[in-house]
Chains A and B, each alone.
Chain A
Amino acid sequence: MNFIEGAPCRAADATHIQSTQEDEYNFGYLDEQTKRMIRRAILKAIAIPGYQVPFAGREMPMPYGWGTGGIQLSASVLGSDDIFKVIDQGADDTTNAVSIRKFFARVTNVNTTERTEEASVIQTRHRIPEIPLSDDQIMIYQVPIPEPLRWVEARESETRKMHALEEYGVMHVQLYEDIARHGRIATNFMYPVKVNDRYIMSPSPIPKFDNPKLHMSPALHIFGAGREKRIYAVPPYTIVKSLDFEDHPFEVESWDNCCGLCGAKDSYLDEVILNNEGERMFVCSDTDYCTHRREQGHLGPMAAREDIAELKGERA
């Protein structure tokens, strides 16, 4: 692959098209100036934990809403020494995760892995891995709506003021209305957090089950919203508190079941409908965690069943 910053001028006929090949794309797809702009935004995001830094997001070759923010962050962060893991819904082999991993293998030659511990950079949509992250890791989140106050105030011009003045009363009012109406806070994912005791931040649509993993995490967490053109971050060892009330403390989901495949009781479980009779089972959403446990000999109550071979997805 060549790393050419320039490209030839175009004539107004169809004959030049053949010369436009994919090897004219830069390392990491984005041009150097764009990466510099994104890198500056990342550094400011780290210096102001939880604050959303506007950046001039670029059109990427995948649709907005499909991880363009995370992809731009990864493109600006990744190097040839990295080992890259991509998950969607906790799984390495969902179609979008496969597609993104393939893209980076093509434009950066980066090594990829499914093992959480092996990865130096993990791009994710909707989950944080179950295995505790380490000091050497960078988490990159795909974010659809970065603004935690969007559901109480649709206007950017207003929410910006609310963040500036730390006027978060409406957010608490809304959460408390939930409690008054439903006896609980009816937010289960994208559950707002307060970072470093200053900014209210959306942790992206991770289930609230994952929120505690952000608190004092040894890893660096960077969030990218491509369509909304915002980057924000939680540095390592930073206080991240899920919003709650004294009489209604923050709680995470729990299951009566364990993982049908590996028997885990401590992981986030997906419910899978097995057949038209409505038979269902619960499996770890973190496929690497589940596979690893089974390799270590942990077996769940349904591990022996043969009609779920695809679910087991043995590592190649």
Chain B
Amino acid sequence: MYVAVKGGEKAIDNAHCLMAEERRGDTNIPEMTVSQILQQMRLAVDRVMSEGSLYDPALAALAIKQSRGDLVEAVFLLRAYRTTLPRFGISNPIDTSAMHVRRRISATFKDIPGGQILGPTFDYTHRLLDFTLAAESEPRPVQTDIPDEAPMPRVMDILSAEGLLEQKETDGEANVGDITRDPVTFPAERDIRLQNLARGDEGFLLALGYSSQRGFGDSHPFAGEIRMGDVAVSMTPEELGFEIEIGDITISECEMVTSFTGSKTELPKFTRGYGLSFGYCERKVMAMALVDRSLQTRELGGDIVAPSQDEEFVLSHSDNVEAQGFVQHLKLPHYVDFQADLIMMRSMREEILKQTKADKKEAA
């Protein structure tokens, strides 16, 4: 029997009811609260905030609940909400050297001023399923020195002081672009690229960064520093004329360093790739830093030979809200266009068959 695509309204309402029912699952099991997600699924919350481009842990947790744990869907929910928010102003640049550090490691030096701080990390866990988590349990108390409250200079700044590092772009006065306000045009400057990558899909960046390590692109990076912790956000309202702190956010930051053997005009030096995210998204910022470095190929006078170096390719396909929408739009009816192809296909076949028949006859 013909399955109607008509009667849409009722079908949609029903789909929403079914969805709500499945979301809740077995009602004998207590419903999960947004606060539980906020507390216990924090890395999911952080990813959703980062790619959703909105620092609001509670709304991100709500989005995760609503999306049944589908994080790309949750990112989408947060983005759609973000669009409707008015803009009160633009914050001052955050100072990550003033970060209240919870984790900080450098792979380029054995020890660094302020020390290596392992912090909460999966790194040295043995990936053995912990069956004690299946039952409710209290974590063991932590035995650790409380990290130094003094500001921790970035490792890269130490290299930079020696002149070994490309100079930072310190055009603090220049306006920073915003891809949510102006469409991306090519070639894209680094501020635009970094914003795009910061909002970009972790999986996509992970794969691209990985490809750049495997020889698709010429990149041999070191993890100069990875840090995670809390920084203050401040702004200077025009009517006040002085800086006020508006809150703290947790961020992850990664600086990769890559040797650059120089060109006709440039001495050999280290170049850097940068990654930053809301919350604790370490894998994301590392991948972002790799891709950021790859995308500097054009400015460094290199040939664009690998996908991770191709800014139009990377920036146009990094956004998972865009990508998931367009891939999934193929679910929508396309029968009008399909009909057009069907007509052509049939008439082409008919013509060819007729011709073959005629040819055969002639040959006979």
The answer to whether A25 touches B84, judged by C-beta atoms less than 8 angstroms apart, is yes
How far, in angstroms, from A53 to B220 measured CA to CA in the complex?
A: 40
Q: A66 at the A/B interface (Cβ < 8 Å)?
A: yes
Q: Which B residues between 246 and 276 are near A, CB-CB below 8 angstroms?
A: 247
Q: B364 at the A/B interface (Cβ < 8 Å)?
A: no
The answer to whether A59 touches B58, judged by C-beta atoms less than 8 angstroms apart, is no
The answer to whether B312 touches A155, judged by C-beta atoms less than 8 angstroms apart, is yes
Q: B312 to chain A: which residues have CB within 8 Å? A: 155-157
How far, in angstroms, from A20 to B321 measured CA to CA in the complex?
A: 23
The answer to whether B58 touches A10, judged by C-beta atoms less than 8 angstroms apart, is yes
Q: Which A residues between 1 and 56 are near B, CB-CB below 8 angstroms?
A: 5-7, 10-17, 20, 24-26, 29-31, 34, 54-56
Q: Which A residues between 139 and 196 are near B, CB-CB below 8 angstroms?
A: 144, 155-157, 182-184, 186, 188-190
Q: B68 at the A/B interface (Cβ < 8 Å)?
A: no
Q: A215 at the A/B interface (Cβ < 8 Å)?
A: no
The count of residues in chain A whose C-beta lies closer than 8 Å to any C-beta of chain B is 81
The answer to whether B322 touches A7, judged by C-beta atoms less than 8 angstroms apart, is no
Query: In the complex, how many angstroms separate the beta carbon of A267 from the nearest chain B beta carbon?
Result: 12
Q: B348 to chain A: which residues have CB within 8 Å? A: 182, 184
Q: B180 at the A/B interface (Cβ < 8 Å)?
A: yes
Total A-B contacts with CB atoms under 8 angstroms apart = 186
Query: In the complex, how many angstroms separate the beta carbon of B64 from the nearest chain A beta carbon?
Result: 12
Q: B7 to chain A: which residues have CB within 8 Å? A: 93, 310, 313
- Among residues of A, the one whose C-beta sits closest to the C-beta of B247 is A12
Contact of B325 among A26, A63, A102 (CB under 8 A): A63
Q: A64 to chain B: which residues have CB within 8 Å? A: 321-322, 324-326, 329
Contact of A96 among B35, B86, B332, B340 (CB under 8 A): B332
Q: B142 at the A/B interface (Cβ < 8 Å)?
A: no
Which residue of A95, A183, A189, A253 has the most chain B CB atoms within 10 A of its CB atom?
A: A95
Q: CB-defined interface of B330-348 with A at 8 Å, one 1/0 digit per residue? A: 0011111101111110001
The answer to whether B336 touches A59, judged by C-beta atoms less than 8 angstroms apart, is no
Q: A59 to chain B: which residues have CB within 8 Å? A: 76, 79-80, 82-83, 321
Contact of A310 among B4, B335, B337 (CB under 8 A): B4
Q: B174 to chain A: which residues have CB within 8 Å? A: none
The answer to whether B333 touches A89, judged by C-beta atoms less than 8 angstroms apart, is yes
Q: B94 at the A/B interface (Cβ < 8 Å)?
A: no
Query: In the complex, how many angstroms separate the beta carbon of B151 from the nearest chain A beta carbon?
Result: 24
- Among residues of A, the one whose C-beta sits closest to the C-beta of B35 is A14
How far, in angstroms, from A206 to B337 measured CA to CA in the complex?
A: 7
The answer to whether B344 touches A63, judged by C-beta atoms less than 8 angstroms apart, is no
Q: A240 at the A/B interface (Cβ < 8 Å)?
A: no
How far, in angstroms, from A98 to B8 measured CA to CA in the complex?
A: 6
How far, in angstroms, from A95 to B7 measured CA to CA in the complex?
A: 8
* Binding-face segment, A130-138, A216-224, A271-279, A292-300: A271-279
- Among residues of B, the one whose C-beta sits closest to the C-beta of A309 is B4
* Binding-face segment, B96-104, B122-130, B158-166, B181-189: B181-189
How far, in angstroms, from A241 to B174 measured CA to CA in the complex?
A: 45
DSSP majority for the B interface? helix
The answer to whether B84 touches A29, judged by C-beta atoms less than 8 angstroms apart, is yes
Q: B131 to chain A: which residues have CB within 8 Å? A: none
The answer to whether A56 touches B62, judged by C-beta atoms less than 8 angstroms apart, is no
Q: A121 to chain B: which residues have CB within 8 Å? A: none
Contact of A17 among B8, B58, B324, B327 (CB under 8 A): B58
Contact of A63 among B56, B59, B328, B343 (CB under 8 A): B328
The answer to whether A127 touches B8, judged by C-beta atoms less than 8 angstroms apart, is no
The answer to whether B8 touches A126, judged by C-beta atoms less than 8 angstroms apart, is no
The answer to whether B183 touches A54, judged by C-beta atoms less than 8 angstroms apart, is yes
Q: A304 at the A/B interface (Cβ < 8 Å)?
A: no
Contact of A269 among B56, B59, B339 (CB under 8 A): B339
Which residue of A59, A125, A126 has the most chain B CB atoms within 10 A of its CB atom?
A: A59
The answer to whether B1 touches A66, judged by C-beta atoms less than 8 angstroms apart, is no
Q: A31 to chain B: which residues have CB within 8 Å? A: 84, 86
Known contacts: A60-B80, A188-B344, A271-B342. The answer to whether A308 contacts B322 by CB under 8 A is no
Interface size classification for chain B = 35 or more
Q: A30 to chain B: which residues have CB within 8 Å? A: 83-84
Which residue of B316, B325, B328 has the most chain A CB atoms within 10 A of its CB atom?
A: B325
Q: A85 at the A/B interface (Cβ < 8 Å)?
A: no
- Among residues of A, the one whose C-beta sits closest to the C-beta of B2 is A274
Contact of A89 among B86, B336, B342 (CB under 8 A): B336
Q: A268 to chain B: which residues have CB within 8 Å? A: 336, 339
Q: B118 at the A/B interface (Cβ < 8 Å)?
A: no
Q: A275 to chain B: which residues have CB within 8 Å? A: 1-2
Contact of B8 among A13, A56, A58, A94 (CB under 8 A): A94
Contact of A7 among B9, B86, B339 (CB under 8 A): B86
Known contacts: A17-B34, A94-B6, A98-B12. The answer to whether A10 contacts B336 by CB under 8 A is no
Q: A99 at the A/B interface (Cβ < 8 Å)?
A: yes
The answer to whether A61 touches B339, judged by C-beta atoms less than 8 angstroms apart, is no
How far, in angstroms, from A57 to B325 measured CA to CA in the complex?
A: 14
Q: B84 to chain A: which residues have CB within 8 Å? A: 7, 24-26, 29-31
Which residue of B38, B86, B182 has the most chain A CB atoms within 10 A of its CB atom?
A: B86
Query: In the complex, how many angstroms separate the beta carbon of B187 from the nearest chain A beta carbon?
Result: 7
Identify the B interface with A (CB < 8 A): 1-2, 4-9, 11-12, 33-35, 38, 56-59, 61-62, 76, 79-80, 82-86, 179-187, 247, 312, 316, 321-322, 324-329, 332-337, 339-344, 348, 351
Task: Beyond A58-B83, A89-B336, A94-B6, list 13 extra A-B contacts (CB 8 Å).
Answer: A31-B84, A59-B321, A61-B80, A65-B329, A89-B333, A91-B5, A94-B5, A95-B12, A155-B186, A189-B340, A227-B326, A229-B183, A255-B343
For this complex, 11 residue pairs linking A to B, each with C-beta atoms less than 8 Å apart, are A10-B58, A12-B57, A54-B185, A55-B183, A65-B325, A95-B8, A97-B8, A208-B340, A268-B336, A273-B2, A285-B336
Identify the A interface with B (CB < 8 A): 5-7, 10-17, 20, 24-26, 29-31, 34, 54-61, 63-66, 68, 88-91, 93-99, 102, 125-127, 144, 155-157, 182-184, 186, 188-190, 205-209, 227, 229, 253, 255, 268-275, 285, 307-308, 310-311, 313
8 closest residue pairs by CB, A with B: A65-B329, A64-B325, A188-B340, A63-B325, A98-B8, A65-B326, A95-B8, A54-B183
